[in-house]
Amino acid sequence: MASWLTKHPRHSWPVAPLARMDYASHGLRVQLASYNAGEQFDAPPVPDLTEWLIPTVSESRQSGYATTPQKRVANPAMERGPREAPDVYAIAFQEFAPMHCSLAGRTSSMLSRVDTQIRRAIRLHQSVVRDDHMYDPLELGGGPENYVLVAQVCHAGLVLYVYVRERPGQSPAARQRPSAAQRVKEVRTAFVGTGLGSVMGNKGAVGVRIAMAPLIQGAPDEVLTFVCAHLAAHDHQVARRNNDWRQIVQRLVFEPDGVVPLPIVQPPGEEPAPEQAPPNPLDPVEYSLYDTHHLFVLGDLNYRVATGVPGVPPKPAAEPLPPIDAKIVRDVARSFDARRWASILPYDQLVQEHSVGRTLQGLHLPDLAHWAVPPTYKYKAGGEMLQLSKKRLPGWPDRLLWGSSDAARGSAVLVCELYRSLLRYTASDHKPITAILQLPLQLDHRSVFMRRPFDIDPQWRRRRIIGVVLDRIVGYLWSLLLLFGNGNLYLAFVELALLGLLSWYWLQGRWL
């Protein structure tokens, strides 16, 4: 047979017996990556994504971004590299392409180019992170990485790629288990628009829901959900951003029709895979993004630094911090001093809204001061690496959040290995961000899905159709105007006005 999924049907594939598992080790390792690309992918070349997707590049072993404290294996040859490749990559983009192309759905060539560049970067993971730029021995799991693209979902300017690793981890315990790709049982995708009219795709979210077979006999399937979101812009639109999140929760629905084909994992030396059959859902249920064991939210959430309002106190019982003004925010951000950044984080709108439960409910908000993350916005696009723009206040609109259904019992809190932004990318006014998380080896036997803060909107499907139709109409009209104006929208309107005026005079002369 050609594939693991053919050999082992989804409902009956073998799991390891309890006595043989290494309970001291972690489960899947997931890397999250998000970038508001500033519409830069409309033409080649795609920039090198290695430093973003392999964030240990240019780090010494003694750097502040030290790797996991546990040794990967008891072999000195494998201690040279600071971090092993993750089992899952979730890579999100906002403002992926020019808006007229995005709304018209004309991004297929751009998606393919970026996918190629991502694969090129992550394939060399092991040689990149090792000090000698070599691979580990083959018998110890060395060599280039192979990742399967299990989902690619695009809606307007939002794109989410999810890749899973074809081979297991390199630790002795991990090498006895199936790889992440071999565990995939079902993949669903979904999208929602929350932009103009609360339905168009200039703002909204896309999502991927993956059901994975358990590692422990008798345990439930493990469900991972990834959401790439882009919320309303501008400093004063806090309530609109909160409502955008509510709309996403209510209308980002993973329906049975959203199931995508499972990856074909081709073991070495076997016959070519047969043609893939149409995918069948595991069940006919419609799922919310909170109907999951692990939820990951990536994107440009657009929460800014608030001025003129009290800051969130460091302790719940403490007094609110006094308000700050825009000058203080600019001075602190331009200092690029991590100790000073911490002083303005209590005024971050997401920190304020999340602390009172008005947005991103049930998700962990990482402490950016702990990770010394510099502001991710607003930089001068195409400028110097640290050149902040004067048009907007600096802040942290680009965020990564996560949550677990077992977190309340303390049995499945996700462990963050690394959280950082990458300053060297200058094509956009945003900086890309990334984080690496360790999932627990197994779910609690009492595990249920996360609690929904809002129920599914019964009109979600109708509103999605309306949004897509409006997107296409606006996208194609916009494209025609740009074509008419030779790429200049203002020139197109001037030409149309002149054409209309000449037509009116011609008609007047004909009728007189």
**Does residue 302 share a domain with residue 166?**
yes
In a domain, 502, yes or no: yes
- Least confident segment among 18-32, 350-364, 484-498: 18-32
Checking if the pLDDT of 3 tops 60, the result is no
Q: Is the pLDDT of residue 426 over 90?
A: yes
Q: What separation in angstroms does the CA of 267 have from each of 48, 86, 141, 407?
A: 30, 20, 15, 36
Provide the residue range defining the domain that includes 200. 4-457
Q: What is the pLDDT of residues 116-136, one digit of tens each?
A: 999 999 999 888 887 778 888
Contact 273, 4 (CB under 8 A): no
Is 497 found in the same domain as 450? Answer: no
Assigned domain for 300 exists = yes
Question: Structurally, how many domains does the chain consist of?
Answer: 2
Residue 259 lies in a domain: yes
Q: Are residues 491 and 363 in the same domain?
A: no
Burial of 254 (0-12, 13-18, 19+ CB in 10 A): buried
> Are 86 and 163 part of one and the same domain?
yes
Residue 310 CA: distances (Å) to CA of 57, 306, 320, 374:
39, 9, 6, 22
Helix orientation angle between 460-484 and 238-251, rounded to the nearest 10 degrees: 120
Same domain, 402 and 503: no
429, two tokens: 């006014």
**Token couple for 278:** 């149409």
Average pLDDT in the 352-371 region? 95
Q: How confident is the model over 255-274, as a mean pLDDT? A: 71
C-alpha 30/C-alpha 21 separation (Å) is: 20
Average pLDDT rounded to a whole number, residues 6-23:
36
Are residues 445 and 486 both part of a single domain? no
- Asked if residue 462 is part of any domain, the answer here is no
- pLDDT tens per residue, range 296-333: 999 999 999 999 999 998 877 788 999 999 999 999 88
Mean model confidence pLDDT for the chain: 84
pLDDT band at 2 (very low <50, low <70, confident <90, very high): very low
37-69 pLDDT tens trace = 999 998 888 999 999 999 864 444 333 333 333
Q: By C-alpha distance, which of 208, 205, 227, 109 is closest to 157? A: 205
Q: Domain check: are 330 and 449 in the same one? A: yes
Q: What is the DSSP letter of 196?
A: G
Does 151 share its domain with 292? yes
β-pair type (184-193, 398-404): unpaired
Judge if 339 and 486 occupy the same domain: no
Distance, in Å, from the CA atom of 85 to the CA atom of 125, rounded to the nearest integer, reads: 6
Which residue, among 281, 43, 32, 52, has the nearest Cα to 160 in the 3D structure?
Answer: 32
Confirm whether 314 is domain-assigned: yes
Residues 171, 245, single domain; the answer is yes
More confident residue, 79 or 279: 279
48 close to 64: Cβ distance less than 8 angstroms: no
**359 and 472 part of one domain:** no
CA distance 150 to 279: 13
Is 504 within a domain? yes
Alpha-carbon gap, residue 115 to 507, rounded angstroms: 53
Between CA 19 and CA 218 the distance in angstroms is 13
Look up the CATH number of the domain holding residue 336. Answer: 3.60.10.10
Contact partners, residue 31, CB within 8 Å, separation at least 6: 53, 86, 88, 89, 90, 434, 435, 436, 437
Which pLDDT band, with edges at 50, 70 and 90, does 83 fall under?
A: confident
Residues 452 and 472 in one domain: no
Task: Report DSSP state, residue 417.
Answer: E
| Model-wide pTM > 0.75 | yes
Cis peptide preceding 168, ω within 30 of 0:
no
237 assigned to some structural domain: yes
Token code pair at residue 256: 């049975």
Q: How many of the other CB atoms lie within 10 Å of CB of 433?
A: 27
- Token pair belonging to 432: 């890309």
For the cut 60, the answer to whether the pLDDT of residue 21 exceeds it is no
